[in-house]
Amino acid sequence: MTVSKTAADPLKVSRAVAKQDFDASSDDSLLHLGELSGLLGYSLKRAQLRVFEDFLRCVAPLQLTPAQFSVLLLLDQNPGRNQTEIANTLGILRPNFVAMLDGLESRELCARMRSASDRRSHILVLTDKGRAVLTRAKKLVANKHEARLIELLGPENHAALLDMLAKIAHEF
């Protein structure tokens, strides 16, 4: 955690109404979003859809969804964990995680191993193929996907955006 317990951390971004309204009294152009553009939830959802869309395009050669990519990433960094732990961390409900793992396992990207200490749980492990795919995916994501976002926002703004989103997710 520790996204920032401090109170004032400005981030001087050019505020400026910019492309507010345009007087579309009766043309077929875009409608007035009005107060909708000030609704954080609305902008969040719109931006999230765009980012996921681009993610899918960039990583299309590997046929990985954002959720699948996040699972592989988490397995790589947390070896020896079981399904419940991984699912909980990602906010996925255990029942829904089963089919997801089935998909990854059928493609031999990961495997379930019965734990010796607790024969109820399945220890999740990345296969060699899974590690290879993850490596390629990380490169695609970093070079094609995140790079464009950083270029669009600027590195400092991009970092500030990440911090604010984490803060919302954890402290709101």
Distance between CA atoms of residues 49 and 47, nearest Å: 5
Interior CA angle at 97 toward 92 and 100, to 5°? 120
Enter the tokens of residue 20.
Answer: 């507010």
**What residues from 142 to 171 belong to the interface with a second copy (CB under 8 A)?**
146, 148-149, 152-154, 156-169, 171
92 makes contact with DNA (CB under 7 A): yes
Binding range to a second copy, per CB under 8 A, among 92-100, 102-110, 123-131, 138-146: 138-146
Residues 6+ apart with CB under 8 A from 100: 67, 68, 71, 92
Binding range to DNA, per CB under 7 A, among 16-24, 115-123, 137-145, 158-166: 115-123
Residues 6+ apart with CB under 8 A from 153: 161
Give min distance, CB of 111 to a second copy, in A.
Answer: 19
Binding range to a second copy, per CB under 8 A, among 47-55, 100-108, 122-130: 47-55
140 makes contact with DNA (CB under 7 A): no
3-state secondary structure of 129: helix
75 makes contact with DNA (CB under 7 A): no
Nearer of residues 57 and 106 to a second copy, judged by Cβ:
57
Give min distance, CB of 25 to a second copy, in A.
Answer: 8
Identify any residues that bridge with 111 across adjacent strands, giving them in sequence order.
125
